[in-house]
Amino acid sequence: MHAKKTKSILITLMSIVIALVMLAPLVWLVGTAFTEPSFNMSFIPKTKFTLENIKYVWNAIPFGQYYINTLILVIVTFSVQFITSTMAAYALAILDFKGKTVIFAIIFMQIIIPNDVLITPNFMTLSELGLTNTKIGIMLPFYGSALAIFLLRQHFKSVPKALAEAAKLDGATTWQTIWRVYMPTAKPAYLSFAVISVSYHWNNYLWPLIVTNSPANRTLTVGLAIFAKSKEANMQWANVCAATFIIILPLLIAFFILQRQFMESFVGAGIKE
């Protein structure tokens, strides 16, 4: 028993040490964001505490605007995905009709090919539609989500047919049936997908970078990158850390509060992805 206890303590110790290593960059980031810049970086800041960096970047970069843009993107994208995917998943799970194979082929295609690699042709399409430098342009490619359809379809399939039949007998329309019977059972799937969708679009960079030209449409990530890459500033790191801190804060807070939900969502979505 003694050996076992020692082993258990060792494992705990090791997992804590690794946890501290994993946390180190975050600790350094926060430390640097809130202290005066110095020439040589050190893990534990040796300079005075200050809010100047945060103040400076908040005034230098229109973060307010970028926050609003990002929020709009994240919310509208998810809302549209919510509607289109629910409808599609219902059709695929419940209804019986010819041509489903083609639809599945398309769904698989999207699952295999992330939108990230189709930047060139999609940008051309967007220019032809006259939607470059618009928020809608950033979102459009994501309005049809294979992943969401897939997740929801599996949940819808598990709903007993009898429940739906009963609702129909009560005179419910198809839409009402979806609303009352199918959607409530798929709550976990919706939640999972919400987490995935929101964190993906909050973090996405390359596509919004290509599509946007002006602060009116820039996302937080694009704004941060522009700032981090500005060429001739001195001892930029304190400011970049402050800017980074500002943009990761909401997502990190959400994560620390809802960490279990986050992890489950990523597993759920990943497995079915």
Among positions 98-137, residues that touch other proteins (CB under 8 A) are: 98-99, 103-104, 106-127, 130-136
Q: Which is nearer to other proteins, 50 or 174 (CB)?
A: 174
Write out the two tokens for 105.
Answer: 């082929």
Q: Which of residues 215-254 bind other proteins (CB under 8 A)?
A: 215-217, 220-221, 224-226, 228-237, 240-241, 243-244, 247-248, 251-252
Q: Which of residues 59-88 bind other proteins (CB under 8 A)?
A: 60, 72, 76, 79-80, 83-85, 87-88
Helix H or strand E segment including 146: helix 146-157
Minimum CB separation of residue 177 from other proteins in Å reads 10
Residue tagged 């990523």 (tokens): 266
Write out the two tokens for 36.
Answer: 């005066």
The backbone torsions φ and ψ at residue 10, rounded to the nearest 5 degrees and listed phi first, read -60, -45
Residues 174 and 180: their CA atoms lie apart, in Å, by 10
Provide the 10 A C-beta neighbour count for residue 246: 20
| AA letter at 93 | A
CB 158 within 8 A of CB 185: yes
Residues that bind other proteins (rule: CB under 8 A) add up to a total of: 128
Q: Which is nearer to other proteins, 63 or 262 (CB)?
A: 262
Binding residue (CB under 8 A) for other proteins from 6, 9, 11, 51: 11
Write out the two tokens for 247.
Answer: 């943009």
What x-and-dash track marks residues 23-52 binding other proteins by CB under 8 A? x-xx-xx--x------xxxxx---------
